[in-house]
Amino acid sequence: MGKLATGRASSKSSKLLDEFNASLMFDKKLYAEDIEGSIAHASMLQAQDIISQRELHQIIGGLAQVKKEIEESSFVFDIADEDIHMAIEKRLTEIIGDAGKKLHTARSRNDQVALDFRLYVQKNSKNLEKLILKLIETLLDIADANSSTLLPGFTHLQHAQPINFGYHMLAYVAMFQRDILRFSDSFKRNNFSPLGCAALAGTPYKIDRDYTAKKLGFDAPTVNCLDTVSDRDFALEILFNISTLMTHISRLCEELVLWSSSEFGFISLSDEYSTSSSIMPQKKNPDVPELLRGKTGRVYGNLISLLTVLKGLPLAYNKDMQEDKEGVFDSVETATISLRILNEAMATMSVHIDVMENGCKVGHLSATDLADYLVRECDMAFRDAYKITGAIVAQAEKSGIDLSEMSLEELKVADSRINENVLEFLNLRNSMNARASYGGTSIKSTKDQIKYFKKWIENYDV
């Protein structure tokens, strides 16, 4: 069979044009969505008496066979067919004859591709939500086991205040929760059916867009056909949502790389999720978090690329829009494998509690507590307390010890008002637990946060 839709163009396009024009080699990923959409469309055509019951049965049977051929790899993909929509329709017509030629009644490839692509995005958006949920569960397990594991908290990558490792994990849980909600918001905003918009202006046939919308799992049909065939906001949204997700993944991975270095030594990645060097036999490299950090770049690129493709396009469909798909496929696949492997790497890593806790004895982490003590117990103004604390820290540096290890006698030299209560304030664990304000790092507050997230998960319906 020759080309399906030659229309006014001659059927002999150049091979080079076929190669350049085709999207088949990548949009064949949409075959299942295309068939699902066609079944819904044909069912509606029959319900509206536009095709017969018999023709509908032939179409459904033929499409089932096409699907089988694609899944069994016996389907012959020919780029001369241009895209998956034409390839499927052509094969359908080969199989069932004239009834196949009726499938495209009251439909255009413009609403067809908008539908297929939207179905793909909606399905994968849900799938990513599920994978993020799994990662959150793993992080909550780590948090649960480490709500009393002291960890130096950093600002400017300098030791700042003692926190606990569970609390640090919960910061990522909060980011990933926002990611889930972002995917979910986009899903709701875009859950409208493009089918039946036809080329740009709707159709003179008496179609029923509510019927197809419902059958395909959408909330309703889209409102304006001209917008719908031009709209790729749903694709931009998933690209942005994935970019933000990957930003969070990348920040966590940066910490994993740092923490697994000899300088930090806070964690070890399991052998299963580390790699070795081809020349240095002693090495265990954090390739997984590094690669995840690196993959963030291509995902940002896909977002910028589609924004740029769309920015100057007049309404409605333009062929430029065929460039919308590969970046989305790439970002979705990248995010999918990233979440799966990060989950495994996190679940199997070892946490070196001693190293984390010893790390807190460097950098005078309880300096803020000493200043607070001077304010609360010695009746000083904060600025005076800040100054005296600075002098005491300098003294500790001179003696080569950490502030938390100073004796009462040494402290009293700086200010005679200091009494033995001070030692409790300088204790690192007390310092962490003192921060019991809502959302703070105390063990109790950490446990409350774990409870909050667990309850949220329990009630969350993907």
Task: Kindly state the tokens that stand for 55.
Answer: 């023709």
Closest listed residue to residue 75, CA positions, set 62, 65, 61, 86:
65
Nearer to ligand ARG, 233 or 424 (CB): 233
Contact residues for 349 (Cβ-Cβ < 8 A; gap 6+) = 256, 267, 268, 269, 270, 273
Q: Which of 38, 58, 93, 110 binds ligand ARG (CB under 6 A)?
A: 110
Residues near ligand ARG (CB under 6 A), total: 10
Q: Do 65 and 93 form a contact (C-beta atoms < 8 A)?
A: no
Segment contacting ligand ARG (CB under 6 A): 9-17, 218-226, 278-286, 313-321?
313-321
Nearer to ligand ARG, 152 or 196 (CB): 196
Nearer to ligand ARG, 113 or 170 (CB): 113
Segment contacting ligand ARG (CB under 6 A): 151-159, 315-323, 326-334, 389-397?
315-323
Closest listed residue to residue 445, CA positions, set 152, 151, 166:
166
Q: How far apart are CA 449 and CA 456, in angstroms?
A: 10
Smallest separation, CB 30 to ligand ARG (Å): 9
Q: Which of 23, 230, 338, 433 binds ligand ARG (CB under 6 A)?
A: 23
Nearer to ligand ARG, 28 or 447 (CB): 28
Nearer to ligand ARG, 79 or 347 (CB): 79
Task: Kindly state the tokens that stand for 363.
Answer: 């950098």
Nearer to ligand ARG, 116 or 179 (CB): 116
> What does the per-residue mask of binding to ligand ARG show for 343-382, with x meaning CB under 6 A?
----------------------------------------
- Look up 250 and say whether it is catalytic: no
Segment contacting ligand ARG (CB under 6 A): 107-115, 157-165, 275-283, 438-446?
107-115
Neighbour tally for 264: CB within 10 Å: 16
> Residue 144, Cα to own-chain centre: how many angstroms?
24
Binding of ligand ARG by 317 (CB under 6 A): yes
Instruction: Map tokens 């399905």 to a residue.
Output: 123
Segment contacting ligand ARG (CB under 6 A): 184-192, 258-266, 317-325, 411-419?
317-325
Q: How far apart are CA 426 and CA 443, in angstroms?
A: 17
Q: Which of 3, 29, 102, 109 binds ligand ARG (CB under 6 A)?
A: 109
Smallest separation, CB 83 to ligand ARG (Å): 4
Q: How far apart are CA 389 and CA 91, in angstroms?
A: 81
Neighbour tally for 65: CB within 10 Å: 14
Task: Kindly state the tokens that stand for 395.
Answer: 């003294």
Site for ligand ARG in 45-104 (CB under 6 A): 83
Q: Which of 42, 99, 135, 321 binds ligand ARG (CB under 6 A)?
A: 321
Q: Which of 122, 177, 302, 322 binds ligand ARG (CB under 6 A)?
A: 322
Computed from CA positions of residues 207, 208, 214, 218, in that sequence, does the dihedral angle turn out positive or negative?
positive
Smallest separation, CB 121 to ligand ARG (Å): 14
Q: How far apart are CA 379 and CA 385, in angstroms?
A: 9
Smallest separation, CB 226 to ligand ARG (Å): 14
- Look up 230 and say whether it is catalytic: no
Residue/partner pairs of 149-157 with CB below 8 Å, 24 or more apart: 149/351, 149/353, 149/356, 149/357, 150/356, 150/357, 150/360, 150/428, 150/429, 150/432, 151/266, 151/356, 151/357, 151/359, 151/360, 152/356, 152/359, 152/360, 152/362, 152/363, 152/365, 153/365, 153/441
Q: Do 27 and 120 form a contact (C-beta atoms < 8 A)?
A: no
Nearer to ligand ARG, 329 or 460 (CB): 329
Task: Kindly state the tokens that stand for 138.
Answer: 């793993």
Smallest separation, CB 341 to ligand ARG (Å): 31
The one catalytic residue in 74, 156, 407, 416 is 156
The one catalytic residue in 11, 261, 277, 350 is 277
Q: Do 120 and 29 form a contact (C-beta atoms < 8 A)?
A: yes
Task: Kindly state the tokens that stand for 249.
Answer: 């993944």
Segment contacting ligand ARG (CB under 6 A): 106-114, 176-184, 274-282, 337-345?
106-114
Nearer to ligand ARG, 110 or 243 (CB): 110
Q: Which of 4, 27, 166, 292 binds ligand ARG (CB under 6 A)?
A: 27
Residue/partner pairs of 404-411 with CB below 8 Å, 24 or more apart: 404/360, 404/361, 404/364, 404/365, 404/366, 404/428, 405/361
Nearer to ligand ARG, 56 or 321 (CB): 321
Segment contacting ligand ARG (CB under 6 A): 109-117, 174-182, 257-265, 405-413?
109-117
Q: Which of 87, 113, 143, 374 binds ligand ARG (CB under 6 A)?
A: 113
Catalytic residues: 156, 277
Chain positions contacting ligand ARG, by CB under 6 A:
23, 27, 83, 109-110, 113, 317, 319, 321-322
